[in-house]
Amino acid sequence: MAFASDIRTLESNLAHRIAAFTKSALQRVENYRMYRRTVKELAALDNRELADLGLSRSMIKGVALEAVYGR
């Protein structure tokens, strides 16, 4: 009996690890998409609109990284 419960624990642990990995991968993909969308939207603004936001073109990628990843 103890052997059977050990197998179930191992299988359960593996299933949780796979689920956690999948969730993490999907979150990374979604974060990257949000980053790219933010960069694209900011890059579409003209220099005056960026200046109204207190930004310059050189700041776009950094602002997008901070907005999405908090860096």
> What does pLDDT average to over the chain?
90
pTM reported for the whole predicted model: 0.76
The band of 5, judged by pLDDT with boundaries at 50, 70 and 90, is: low
The band of 11, judged by pLDDT with boundaries at 50, 70 and 90, is: confident
Residue with tokens 């299988």: 11
| Per-residue 3-state assignment (H helix, E strand, C coil) for the chain | CHHHHHHHHHHHHHHHHHHHHHHHHHHHHHHHHHHHHHHHHHHCCCHHHHHHCCCCHHHHHHHHHHHHHCC
